[in-house]
Amino acid sequence: MIRIKPLTLDDGSQILVEVEQADVSLAGPADNLPTGAEPTGLGGKLDDAMAMMRNSIGAMARNVHASLSDQSPDEWAMEVSIGFKGETQPIPVIVTGSATGSVKVTAKWKRAD
């Protein structure tokens, strides 16, 4: 399922992000663990990854805004596409993955008629 979610950047500004929900188990059930074992999962790593992406997207947006300020466009937009894919193999310890990314900047000027 694809959803639009607000994302607050490190400078406090908000952008809208299109998120495709994946079925990922963030942690196993903690009540089934043996004594002394700690739950593991992607939860903390996903939070760290989101914080890094938030900072990176904010930095890119500020750089695009600064480089367009001399040309004074009436509108500008920046599309950032980031994709991650992971697959498990028959042997559970071996995991393959890939990542893709792109940035598209669009600027519009309106003629004064």
Report how far apart the first and last C-alpha atoms of the chain are (Å, whole number): 44
pLDDT in tens, 73-109: 898 888 888 777 777 666 666 677 788 888 888 989 9
pLDDT at 88: 66
pLDDT at 39: 66
Has this prediction a pTM greater than 0.75?
no
Consecutive H or E run containing 58: helix 43-68
Instruction: Supply the mean pLDDT for the chain.
Output: 75
